[in-house]
Amino acid sequence: MKIMTCNIRCSTAGDGENAWTFRRDLCCRVIRSRSPDIIGFQEIREDQFADLSAAFGEFDAYGAADVPLGRHRVNSIFFRRDVFHLLSASTFWLSETPQVPGSSSWNSANIRLAGWVHLREPASARELVVVNTHLDHRSQEARERQAQLINAWAAVFPADCPMILTGDMNCDRTNPAIRAFKEAGWRDTHEAVHGPAEPGHTVHWFLGPDHMKKTATFDWWPDNQGKVDWIFVRGNVKVTDAEIVRDSERARYPSDHYFVSADLD
């Protein structure tokens, strides 16, 4: 199966010519060109969820709003309904009170959460668990504690249970949060195929290779930040391919992040 993680950049940002209205169709074309079976989205707003649901009509989706009575299902998981049957789904907040909607801890600049689905493939009777998240972009303490919370949640599943973790972790392989994931048994799909060397940045601010022109304007974003968008696996999963998707059309990009994909057995 093909998995993708896609931070699509929220439609509420003031992005001018890169606003969602102008890149929506490109975003959908790039994703569809990879023929994914499961997609972990981050930064979805209400209008984007509607657009993506219409564009990928053969997919079912699960996502929870980040705040009580909210309308933005910020971390949503899309999965092909002709391949998978949904057995269960839920959300926990990346805080000291994970069952309290809208909760936040550890100086996190934003409310962060993780949504998960338990899927069954009727054709083979195989089952898998997919969790999708977005760690904080400013607080290092939050990133580490949020990673630890996801690890504790995953630890209750049997060791051989096929599990997939997608997300924008807002940090690269040198960060303690990423090391915490790996020490807890998560395997990076890109590293499994291409080796441990840093593959390069995945945040590019709509500039592609020229991303450093804008990176320098953010005092909270390291100049040398590498791949921050991840697909991890645990349990009985074999990785057969992985890609950082750098597609563009006439110097326009589908998001301010490159998407990431992985092929799994």
pLDDT tens series, the chain, 265 aa: 999 999 999 999 999 999 999 999 999 999 999 999 999 999 999 999 999 999 999 999 999 999 999 999 999 999 999 999 999 999 999 999 999 999 999 999 999 999 999 999 999 999 999 999 999 999 999 999 999 999 999 999 999 999 999 999 999 999 999 999 999 999 999 999 999 999 999 999 999 999 998 988 888 888 889 999 999 999 999 999 999 999 999 999 999 999 999 999 9
CATH code of the domain containing 233: 3.60.10.10
239-245, strands of its sheet edge to edge = 59-62, 76-80, 38-42, 2-7, 259-264, 239-245
pLDDT at position 129 is: 98
Q: Do the Cβ atoms of 199 and 231 come closer than 8 Å?
A: no
Domain range for residue 183? 2-264
Distances in Å between the Cα of 250 and the Cα atoms of 11, 24, 58, 189 are: 21, 15, 29, 30
Q: Do the Cβ atoms of 251 and 208 come closer than 8 Å?
A: yes
Tokens of 167: 């997300």
- Total domains present in the chain: 1
pLDDT at position 3 is: 98
- CA dist 105 and 146 (Å) reads 9
pLDDT at position 217 is: 86
Task: Provide the pairing of β-strand 187-188 with 229-234.
Answer: antiparallel
> pTM for the full model?
0.97
pLDDT at position 219 is: 84
- Which phi and psi angles does 195 have, rounded to 5°? 95, 175
- CA dist 259 and 27 (Å) reads 10
pLDDT at position 216 is: 83
- CA dist 120 and 165 (Å) reads 17
Q: Output the CA torsion 158→92→254→9 (10° steps).
A: -160
pLDDT at position 185 is: 98
- CA dist 12 and 211 (Å) reads 21
* SS3 per-residue string spanning 186-226: CEEHHHHHHCCCCCCCCECCCCHHHCHHHHCCCCCCCCCCC
- Which phi and psi angles does 163 have, rounded to 5°? -135, 145
